[in-house]
Amino acid sequence: MPPKAIGPYRVLETLGSGGAGTVYRALDRRSNDEVALKLLSTGGPSLDDRAARRLAREFETLADLSHPNVVKVFEAGVHAGQPYLAMELIEGLTLRHYLDVSFNDLHTPTPASRGPLAIRRTEDDDFGSVDSPDEEEDDDVEDDGTFDLNAFAEEAPSEDLASFHGAGDDDSDSDGMLVVDPRRAAPRAAPQPSRPAAPKVADLNRPERMGKLKDAMLQVCEALAYIHGHGLVHRDLKPSNIMVDDDRQVRLMDFGLAKFLADDAGITADGKLVGTYRYMAPEQILGEPLDGRSDLYSLGVILYELLSGRPPFDAKTPHELWRQVLETEPPPLLALNLHGDPQLARVAHRLIRKEPDDRFQTAEEVYEALSE
């Protein structure tokens, strides 16, 4: 049962729920404006008042950010020991779904792919699902916030990324940040042969789709350049955190929430990871300090997926995925999509290099490379 009110906001309905918290459509009783209200989860007991207010003050700094490609944060506060964020309510499509529809269909979306800021029928494959408003409680995430590896092995094959999530595809919302300890011993399996791209991979190269993809990537670069210039790192960049509105304007959201969960909420033991596995840079897996180049790695994984129809690294367990990310090279993108864009393929491969120094160093550099 959602709360009736959170701070000065009257809760209207639940939009989505995940490991990072629950998002509500809410009405600001002061201005009568609707907002997306994200009540952040600590994954355990409520924070004490002092800690919660400190976190709220930190998130209030996000309210100073203003960029056309970044979702606006209005304010932060504390409700029952849990920090919350009030953000602008965006009607739009996730990046992947945006690429899968024609321009003529942008104003007639399907319910499964359309919705406000928080409704993201997600395709990010963080190896588990989280609750949507109309679904039963998800058993993939344990009460203590850790991931159930049994659910991990049941995910859909990665090739399905190229099937464009057609009718009947029950995507799950990977809004949440999942927690796994990378220090657990895991068998070192031999590298598995790469799976071939899906038969529909040729559809990835439709001129309309490629134009939309390139334009969206340029806008994401502008958003990343802005937040990196303010000393922020997104830490959990993935297609479901990239929305496209009716005006085809890209909006980046949820930056900083992974840091909140890992560093401040106290729900992780030393050495545990928080984030979406598939898009983690090697340095994030290793628990090393992150900077903007870690976001650029995630952007490279996104670009690789959207060009080839499959992720650069494909595994059945988190540990095997991390081993591949740290030790192996991805299949050449143009071997998976023979008629893919060579320039975009070169950009993707450089972005996902193991060492940060070997990647593009800034989002501005990526923008220039995409513009060539």
Rounded alpha-carbon distances, angstroms, from residue 192 to 149, 179, 310, 315: 19, 25, 15, 8
Beta-bridge partner residues of 9: 6, 28
Locus of tokens 């670009």 = 303
254-275 per-residue burial string, b: 16 or more CB within 10 A, e: under 16: bbbbbbbbbebbebbeeebbbb
- Among candidate residues 229, 213, 177, 178, the one with its CA nearest the CA of residue 70: 229
143 is catalytic: no
On whether the CB atoms of residues 228 and 296 are closer than 8 A, the answer is no
Locus of tokens 């024609």 = 102
Amino acid sitting at position 33: D
On whether the CB atoms of residues 299 and 279 are closer than 8 A, the answer is no
> What's the rounded Cα separation, in Å, for the pair 196 and 335?
9
DSSP state of 251: E
Amino acid sitting at position 235: R
Helices 342-351 and 207-229 cross at an angle (nearest 10°) of 30
Both structure tokens of 144: 């203590």
**Taking the CB of residue 327, how many other CB atoms lie within 10 A of it?**
11
**Among 236, 254, 295, 314, the one annotated catalytic:** 236
> What's the rounded Cα separation, in Å, for the pair 332 and 345?
9
SS3 call for 81: coil
- Enumerate the active-site residues: 236
